[in-house]
Chains A and B, each alone.
Chain A
Amino acid sequence: MKRIIPPLLVALLFAGQVVFADMNSAAAHAFLDRASPAVGSTVHTPPTEVRIQYTEELEPAYSAAHVEDASGATVSTAAHVDENERSVLIVPLGALKPGRYKVIWKVLSVDTHITNGTFSFTVAP
């Protein structure tokens, strides 16, 4: 049984170090943290932009998103990373009518991981 103690101790120390490091660094997959309009939400005032907050900072040149209406037509213009907050992607919108909209995004985090995803929101009259 004594033989297991050194490797187990190393394992626990390593695990503890990683957990601690996780609280202080920013280098991982960029997953969606929150969005405005919120994922799956219904809004009554048509938004002028979709703002997506990620868990990591983004590479602007390789991060993009667009918004489609129920017919699949694009209703947004070119997305860009917020200059003041590089973990935020902004998607400008045209004038939205009531309906369901789908946001499609693909981003590259600063540590070179690519992630992509979709979510929807609804504009109600």
Chain B
Amino acid sequence: MIRLTHGLAALGAATLLLSVTVSMAHAHAVCGDRVFPATLTIDDPGVGDELSLPTIQYLPIPASGGGPSGRSVDYGYEWDKTITQDLGFALNGDYFTRHDAGETLHGWDNITLTLKDELPCSEANEFMVSVGVIRLFARSGSAQLRSAGAISSVGSTQPTLYLGKGLGELPVDYLRPLAVTGEVGYQVSDSSHVSPSQWAYGASLQYSMPYLQQHVKALDVPEFFTRLVPLVEISFTSPTRGPTTGTISPGILYESDKWQFGVEAIISGNHATRLSQGTGVLLQFHLFLDDIFPNSLGKPLFDTNLWKP
């Protein structure tokens, strides 16, 4: 999951694209039997036409130096749009609020734009790879938040590698629904003496009940359970100066045909992280625009694949 800002503006821009023709559509992060769901903390390994609206993150802020504790709440947005079948962009950010030590801060976070290309996947191995570049526009958010140090005042550019591997080849049937995804990138700061460059990396381990039901063993259970994907995500950053911080996020996704709902706990991954945040929660409603608007907004702008001329 990447954050998205100014959701209404994104929706407005998206509406302008409702003017295209019918063709065969490819979207979701699908590779052979495997469908990689949209994860909440890290990005999935594919490109697609999707909208995360809203993503809400609640984090308690621990007391420090005898001061009172506080909390922060983010209201995030993300719009993913395919340019071709394999190439897409994402626009994201959030509206940030923080109540801490008797003070309240709120405003729009910086906008982030991602350009991402999905390489041809190995269907037999359920293995897919994407490469991308994430650009953080430092002066696109609230000046008040920036001056308070709540959001970055320095832009950055982050080349990123995304991976997804389904474990459908495992010899034990009930382990075949397992899959792992991951991403790793190096965030190059525009001004590293102000804000250091850093490694950003994360992974997810997921168990797909839809995969079990459709490809391994149809269970006689209520349909609700056949649409669940329990998972755990980890996400860390390691700056060139300062401590590594990160989170561990166990949770569960519910997969509908056109939308997905996810909830995860956000647990500090190490001591340095625990100093700045307590255990929080992340909620997300995610829309598959390729299924909702398959012949307009939910299809690539150009019906080609750069890897399959």
Contact between chains at A31 and B210 (CB < 8 Å): yes
- Shortest Cβ distance from residue A97 to the other chain B in the assembled complex, whole angstroms: 22
Question: Which residue of B97, B106, B210, B218 is within 8 Å of A40 (Cβ)?
Answer: B218
On whether the beta carbons of A112 and B258 are closer than 8 Å, the reply is no
| Distance of A114 Cα from B261 Cα, bound (Å) | 24
Interface size class of B (residues with CB under 8 A): 35 or more
Query: Given A4-B75, A39-B213, A40-B216: A117 and B33 within 8 A (CB)?
Result: yes
Q: Which of A12-20, A63-71, A72-80, A84-92 contacts B (4 or more CB under 8 A)?
A: A12-20
B257, A22: Cβ atoms closer than 8 Å: yes
* Residue B24 CB within 8 A of the other chain: yes
Query: Which chain B positions have C-beta within 8 A of A114?
Result: 24-26
Is there an interface contact between A119 and B295, defined as CB atoms closer than 8 Å?
no
Q: Mark B7-24, 1 if CB is under 8 A from A, else 0.
A: 110010000000000111
A27 CB contact (under 8 Å) in B7, B214, B291: B291
- CB-defined contacts of B54 to chain A, threshold 8 Å: 8, 11-12, 15
A55 to B258 alpha-carbon distance, docked (Å): 12
B292 at the interface (CB under 8 A from A): yes
B84 to chain A, nearest CB (A): 16
Please indicate the chain B residues that have their CB under 8 angstroms from the CB of A34 in the complex.
218
Distance A4 CA – B98 CA, assembled complex (angstroms)? 13
Nearest-neighbor residue (CB-CB) of A62 within chain B: B24
Residue interface bits A112-124, CB-to-B below 8 A is 1, else 0? 1111111100000
Task: Tell me which residues across on chain A come within 8 A of B25, comparing CB atoms.
Answer: 111-114
Question: Quick one: closest A residue to B258, CB to CB?
Answer: A22
From B26, B95, B256, A3 is in contact (CB under 8 Å) with B95
Q: Which residues, 17 to 56 on A, are CB-close (under 8 Å) to B?
A: 18-19, 21-22, 27-29, 31-32, 34-35, 38-41, 55-56
- For the residues of A in contact with B, the DSSP-based class is mixed
Question: Cβ of B259: which chain A residues have Cβ within 8 Å of it?
Answer: 15, 18-19, 22
Contact between chains at B290 and A18 (CB < 8 Å): no
- Assess whether B7 is in contact with A32, with CB atoms less than 8 Å apart: no
Give A79 to B291 CA distance when docked, in angstroms: 26
Partner of B257 from A40, A55, A116 at Cβ < 8 Å:
A55
> Given that A18-B258, A18-B259 are contacting pairs, would A41 and B218 also be in contact in the complex, using a CB cutoff of 8 Å?
yes
B271 located at the interface, meaning its Cβ lies under 8 Å from any Cβ of chain A in the complex: no
**Chain A residues within 8 Å of chain B by Cβ, number:** 38
B24 contacts which chain A residues (CB < 8 A)? 108, 112-114
Contacts of A55 in B (CB 8 A): 257
C-alpha gap A116/B218 in the complex (Å): 17
Of A12, A18, A21, most buried by chain B (CB within 10 Å of CB) is A18
Q: Which 7 A-B residue pairs are closest in the complex by CB-CB distance? A: A40-B217, A28-B291, A111-B294, A39-B218, A28-B257, A32-B214, A38-B218
Chain A residues engaging chain B, CB cutoff 8 angstroms: 1, 3-4, 6-8, 10-12, 14-15, 18-19, 21-22, 27-29, 31-32, 34-35, 38-41, 55-56, 108, 111-119
Q: A11-B7, A11-B53, A38-B218 given. 20 additional CB < 8 A pairs?
A: A3-B106, A4-B95, A7-B77, A12-B54, A15-B259, A15-B287, A21-B258, A22-B256, A22-B257, A28-B294, A29-B28, A39-B214, A39-B215, A40-B218, A56-B257, A112-B23, A113-B291, A117-B32, A118-B33, A119-B215
What would 23 A/B residue contacts be, using CB atoms closer than 8 Å?
Answer: A1-B106, A11-B53, A12-B54, A14-B287, A15-B259, A15-B285, A27-B291, A28-B294, A29-B28, A29-B257, A31-B35, A35-B218, A39-B216, A40-B217, A55-B257, A111-B294, A112-B23, A113-B294, A116-B32, A117-B215, A118-B215, A119-B215, A119-B216
